[in-house]
Chain A
Amino acid sequence: MINIEQLNFIRKTVTKYLMEDYLPFPVNKETCYEWANGLNIKKGGSTILYTGCSYQLAELGKKFDEILPLLPKFKSIEKFSPLAKIFLKPKNERVNKILRNVASILRKAEVDFGYLYEEEPYSGTILLELGMLDEFREYAKKLVNFFNSHEVKKIITVDPHTHYTLFRIKEMLDWNVDIVNYFQLLKNVKIKGEGTYVFHDSCLYSRFLGMRDLIREVIVSSGIILKENELVTGKETSMCCGSPLAPINKEISEKIAKTRAEALKSVSSKVLLACPFCYANLSPYVESYDFAEVVKVE
C-alpha cells in the first residue's frame, strides 16, 4: 500500500531541489510566472501576491505522481533532470486565466501588491504534508531568510495549501510577516458570477483555516447559487479530494476522488472549488471549475 522506496525518493530529491532551486522538482521556471506576463505587476515590494507555484504545478504534480513509481529506478536525479525539464513544461492557459483573474480582482479591491516572478519560491507543502518535518523545517528557514532578504512584510496567498504552509512556518519559526488569503481581501469589491454549483470545500480552508463561511459568503454574494446537502457539503461531512495521498498511493487517491465526485454529483452536476489540487484530482470525474475562473470583477 505504501511504497517506501518512492517516499524516500521524494524525501531525498524534493529536498535537494528545494534547497538548490526553490522548486520541488525540475521544471522550467517560466511555467510558474508566465501568467503575469503583460500585467505590469511590479517586481517585489513589501506586499506580494504569492502563488507558491501551486496552481501552476498542480497538474504537473499529477504527472509527477504518475511517473513517481518509476523514478527511484533512476540511479541519480541528475539523469532524470534534463529529461524532466523537457516534458514537464506544460502550457496551462486555464491556470494562467485563474491567476490573472485573481490579480485583477485584487487590483479592483485596491490592494497594492508586487510579485516575485522567476524568483518566487515554492512553499514546501509537499514535505509538510508527507510528514517530512525535519526537511520541511530546514527548507522553511531558507524560505524565511529569502522573504526577509526581500523585505516582504505581507504575503497574499491564492491557494489553501500554500496559505496553510506559511501559517505553519510562522508557528514553527520566528517570522514577522502577515499572511492573508485573497478571499480575505474581497470585502470592497463587487464580483459577478452566475450559475448553480455545488461547492467542494478545500479541507484546509474549511477545517484548518476557518475560512469556510467567508468563502461561501464571497461566492454567494457574487450571484452564484450554491446547492448544499448536510451529508455532502457539511463541515464535518465534506470529504477530501484525495490529492494529498497521490504521492503515496495513486490508486487510493483516485478512489477517494471518484467517491467524492459521485457524492458531489448527487447534489449538482457542476462543481465549484478553490484549490488547484482539488481541481487536478476531481476534474477527471466531474465538471469542475475554480471560483476564480468563473467570476468577473465589475
Chain B
Amino acid sequence: MSDWDIAIKRGVEHNVPRVFNVLREHPYLEELARKVREGKLEVLSNLDYYIEMTMKSVEKIGGKAYFAENSQQAREIVGKIVGTGKRVVLGKSMVAYETGIRKYLQSLGNEVWETDLGELLIQLADEPPSHIIAPAVHMTRERIRELIKEKLGVDPGDKHEDIVKVAREFLRQKFLTADIGITGANAVAADSGSIVLVENEGNIRMSSVVPPVHISITGVEKILPNLEYALYEALVQAAYAGLYPPTYINVTSGPSSTGDVEQKRVSPAHGPKEFHLILVDNGRRKANEDSILREALLCIRCGRCHFHCPVYRALDGKWGDPPYSGPMGAMWSAIVYNDYKPALLCSHAGNCREVCPMKINIPKVLEYLKWKYFNGR
C-alpha cells in the first residue's frame, strides 16, 4: 500500500463512522442543513442584490468591503491592505488558496504563515492540499515527523500529541507578533455584515483577533440572508465534516468595539482596529446563471463527499485543481478554473449525492460538465 492508501484508509475509518454518529445523536442537524440549502438558494436567486446588501452592512458596522471580479483583483486588494515587510498569519481559506494570496504576499516581501496545522504542513512541504478540510490527509504521521524535523529543526517524535505540540509552540510566537490576520469565512450574513467561522484548533480565533488588522476573503456564494442562517451554516458544516460540536464558532462583525463607556459603542477595543471583507466572484456569478452548475454553489465545504468517493480515494488526492479536490472539486475546477477535465473521471457511483448535506446532485452536475467538455463549451 502506498502512503496515500494508508493515510486515506485511516482518515476514512476515523471520519465516516463519526459523522454517522453525530447525525444520529443530533437529529436536528438534518433540518438545519435543509434550512441552509434554502437560505443559500434564496441568495443565489438574487445574488447581486445580496452582494450589495452585504457590502453595505459591512460598511455600516465600521468595516471595509470589496468586490473582486477575479483572482488578480483579489490579490491586488489584499496586497494594498497588507503592503510589504509585514508578518501575516493565515487561517485556512480555500479562496485565499484559489486566488494565490500566500505566494503573492510573500512575493511582496511579507512573511506569511498558514496556521491551520494541515495547511502549515502543506506550506512546509510546498505541496497542494489533498482534501478541503484535511489538506494534509495524504501525509502519514511518519512523513509529518520527518517534515517537521527537516523544516522546523525539531524532532517532534512519533506521537500525534507531540507533533501538535511542536506546531503549537512554533505558531504561537507567530500569532503574537503578526501585523495582519487573514481568514476565509464559512458564511457571511447579508443583513448584519458579520462573518461566521467555525474551527477546532483556535488558530482562526487567534488570526482574527490578535493582529491589529483582520482581512476576510471569501466567495460570494458564502452569503446567507441573515445571521441566523449563517450560524446554522457553521453548525451544519462542522457536523458533516465530522467534528461536532465544533470547538469554536467565531462571529466577527466589523473591527473590535466596546460600549463600556456610557454605552457608547466605540472602536477599536482590544482586537483588530480594522476589518476588511473581500468578496470574490472568479466565475461564481457566471456559474450561478447556469441552472445545473448553480447547484455546486451550494457546497459548504464539509468534505464529506470526498471520503465516500471511490475515485477520490483511488487518485492520491489529486482529483481536481487545488484546493478543490474530490467530487466537489471536480465541480469547482470547472467554476473557477474553467477546467472540465476532472469531471470526466466521475464513475457516477452516487455516494457523494447520498451524503451531501446540501443535497447537491453531484453526479448530475458532473455528467453535465462532461457534456460541456465534449462540446468545447
List residues of chain A with CB under 8 Å of any chain B CB.
1-2, 7, 11, 129-134, 203-204, 206-208, 230-231, 235-240, 242-245, 248-249, 252, 255-256, 259-260
Knowing A134-B371, A237-B16, the reply to whether A245 touches B311 (Cβ < 8 A) is yes
Write out the residue numbers on chain B whose beta carbons fall within 8 Å of the beta carbon of A206.
Answer: 350
Contact A11 B374 (CB under 8 A): yes
Contact B310 A239 (CB under 8 A): yes
Q: How far is the CA of A55 from the CA of B310 in the complex (A)?
A: 23
Write out the residue numbers on chain A whose beta carbons fall within 8 Å of the beta carbon of B345.
Answer: 1-2, 245, 248-249, 252
Contact B308 A203 (CB under 8 A): no
Contact A252 B374 (CB under 8 A): no
Contact A237 B371 (CB under 8 A): no
Whole-angstrom distance between the Cβ of A161 and the nearest chain B Cβ: 10
Closest B residue to A238 using CB positions = B351
Write out the residue numbers on chain B whose beta carbons fall within 8 Å of the beta carbon of A230.
Answer: 17, 20
Cβ 8 A contact of B344, one of A7, A204, A236: A7
Whole-angstrom distance between the Cβ of B291 and the nearest chain A Cβ: 16
Contact with A along B341-372 (1 / 0, CB 8 A): 10111011111011100000001001101110
Write out the residue numbers on chain A whose beta carbons fall within 8 Å of the beta carbon of B369.
Answer: 131
Closest B residue to A240 using CB positions = B349
Write out the residue numbers on chain A whose beta carbons fall within 8 Å of the beta carbon of B371.
Answer: 131-134
Contact A260 B355 (CB under 8 A): no
B152 CB–A CB distance under 8 Å: no
We find that the number of chain B residues with CB closer than 8 angstroms to chain A is 32
Contact with A along B1-37 (1 / 0, CB 8 A): 0000100000001001100100000000000000000
Cβ 8 A contact of B374, one of A134, A208, A249: A134
Whole-angstrom distance between the Cβ of B325 and the nearest chain A Cβ: 14
Contact A236 B351 (CB under 8 A): yes
Cβ 8 A contact of B314, one of A132, A208, A259: A259
Question: Which 4 interchain pairs have the tightest Cβ spacing?
Answer: A131-B370, A240-B349, A207-B350, A133-B371
Whole-angstrom distance between the Cβ of B352 and the nearest chain A Cβ: 9
Knowing A239-B349, A244-B348, the reply to whether A131 touches B343 (Cβ < 8 A) is yes
Write out the residue numbers on chain A whose beta carbons fall within 8 Å of the beta carbon of B355.
Answer: 236
Cβ 8 A contact of B347, one of A1, A7, A11, A244: A244
Contact A260 B351 (CB under 8 A): no
List residues of chain B with CB under 8 Å of any chain A CB.
5, 13, 16-17, 20, 308, 310-311, 313-315, 341, 343-345, 347-351, 353-355, 363, 366-367, 369-371, 373-375
Write out the residue numbers on chain A whose beta carbons fall within 8 Å of the beta carbon of B347.
Answer: 203, 240, 242-245, 256
Knowing A131-B374, A239-B310, the reply to whether A203 touches B348 (Cβ < 8 A) is yes
**What are 24 residue pairs bridging A and B, where the CB atoms are less than 8 Å apart in the complex?**
A2-B344, A2-B345, A7-B344, A131-B344, A131-B367, A131-B371, A132-B370, A132-B374, A134-B375, A203-B349, A203-B351, A207-B349, A230-B17, A231-B16, A231-B17, A236-B354, A237-B16, A237-B308, A239-B351, A244-B348, A248-B345, A249-B345, A259-B313, A259-B314
Contact B341 A2 (CB under 8 A): yes
Write out the residue numbers on chain A whose beta carbons fall within 8 Å of the beta carbon of B348.
Answer: 129, 203-204, 208, 240, 244
Q: How far is the CA of A248 from the CA of B351 in the complex (A)?
A: 20
Q: How far is the CA of A231 from the CA of B355 in the complex (A)?
A: 13
Knowing A2-B341, A134-B375, the reply to whether A237 touches B311 (Cβ < 8 A) is no
Contact A207 B310 (CB under 8 A): no
Given A208-B350, A231-B13, A259-B5, output 14 extra A-B contacts at Cβ < 8 Å: A130-B370, A131-B343, A131-B366, A132-B374, A134-B375, A207-B350, A235-B354, A236-B351, A236-B355, A240-B347, A240-B349, A249-B345, A255-B314, A256-B310
Write out the residue numbers on chain A whose beta carbons fall within 8 Å of the beta carbon of B341.
Answer: 2
Q: How far is the CA of A206 from the CA of B13 in the complex (A)?
A: 22
Closest B residue to A1 using CB positions = B345
Q: How far is the CA of A203 from the CA of B313 in the complex (A)?
A: 16
Write out the residue numbers on chain A whose beta carbons fall within 8 Å of the beta carbon of B353.
Answer: 207
Knowing A249-B345, A260-B310, the reply to whether A207 touches B351 (Cβ < 8 A) is yes
Write out the residue numbers on chain A whose beta carbons fall within 8 Å of the beta carbon of B344.
Answer: 2, 7, 130-131, 248
Write out the residue numbers on chain B whose beta carbons fall within 8 Å of the beta carbon of A259.
Answer: 5, 310, 313-314
Q: How far is the CA of A256 from the CA of B319 in the complex (A)?
A: 14
Write out the residue numbers on chain B whose beta carbons fall within 8 Å of the beta carbon of A240.
Answer: 310-311, 347-349, 351
Write out the residue numbers on chain B whose beta carbons fall within 8 Å of the beta carbon of A236.
Answer: 308, 351, 354-355
Contact A242 B350 (CB under 8 A): no
Knowing A130-B370, A131-B371, A134-B375, the reply to whether A252 touches B349 (Cβ < 8 A) is no
Whole-angstrom distance between the Cβ of B13 and the nearest chain A Cβ: 8
Contact A237 B374 (CB under 8 A): no
Q: How far is the CA of A132 from the CA of B310 in the complex (A)?
A: 22
Contact A207 B314 (CB under 8 A): no
Closest B residue to A236 using CB positions = B354
Q: How far is the CA of A1 from the CA of B311 in the complex (A)?
A: 12
